[in-house]
Amino acid sequence: MSAPLSIGFVGTGVMGRSMASHLLNAGHVIHVHNRTPQKAQPLLDAGARWHSSAGDLAAAVDIVITMLGFPTDVEAAYLGTGGIIERARPGALLIDMTTSSPKLAQRIAAAAANRGLESLDAPVSGGDIGAREARLVIMVGGEAGTFERARPVLELMGKNISRLGPAGAGQHCKTANQVAVAVGMVAWCEALAYARQAGLSPDLVHASISGGAAGSWALSTLAPRALSGDFAPGFYVKHMLKDLRIALESAAELELELPGLAVAQSLYNQVTAQGWEEEGTQALYRLYLTQQVALT
């Protein structure tokens, strides 16, 4: 490995903690900040350095990576008073890996460029397993030269890494990804609910169909969790709803109707109404188990 890099990581939750650990294990000097400090403790125990704010962290490193929950969190971290862009070192590289708004990514890129900083929007797909195993799909928007500068760092966290275009393009790609994910979640839930209602074993039906034309990552990975009653979050329901809102808003701006996505949003709103927003997205299946599904 070349000389260790000074990297700040903001957001050490379900996925961010694993992502930062790969950078630490590769020998880089890792600085961390998280809204809930105890979630960063495993990284601190392994040698990471704590900062009390995203701005303080940015002032101490050459590369800042963020993995946050919501676009409002991203906006505050980057564009808020005393935030990342205001306090980052000259020439620093900023990489937002949150699933966020394409328009916000473009605003961050413009603000960063005005201060002589480089930035990328680089949202990911792969969930908690992909983060733990360093095989995330990473979808990048930004300048080609900036992408090449970031590539060695991104390769420590993912395997399928692509630059899709200028600022915002990574977020647009992730939006497309979430359209497919959300509608696919409805598909496998309904398939297994149908099998159950028909008197078949959902587990046997799952084993039969998951390797055929109906197969998908969600069917292979999340359906077994749901069938076993495991609704722990690899990806939160509340974050899925955030992604669906971004997707539908972006589609409206593009004058595109996405009726399947609207159905998925309605169903996940019902999941939240049941009090399951802190569970994993496979909690959608619980609606079908309890016969609580209602189309609105």
Catalytic residue positions? 174
Residue 190 burial (CB count, 10 A):
15
Contact partners, residue 291, CB within 8 Å, separation at least 6? none
Strand-pairing partners, residue 8, are: 31, 64
Lookup result for tokens 């930004």: 142
Tokens standing for residue 242: 């955030």
292 DSSP 8-state letter: -
Instruction: Find the helix packing angle between 102-114 and 71-79, rounded to 10°.
Output: 10
Tokens standing for residue 240: 């899925």
CA nearest neighbour of 138 among 159, 115, 109: 159
Inter-residue contact 243 to 178 (CB < 8 Å): yes
Spell out where 60-122 has E strands.
63-66, 93-96, 118-121
- Coil vs helix vs strand at 20: helix
Instruction: Find the helix packing angle between 169-197 and 259-273, rounded to 10°.
Output: 70
Lookup result for tokens 């930035």: 119
Instruction: Considering only the C-alpha atoms of the chain, give the largest distance between any 2 of them, rounded to a whole number of Å.
Output: 64
Tokens standing for residue 58: 């940015």
Q: What is the dihedral of CA 179, 249, 237, 222, to 10 degrees?
A: 0
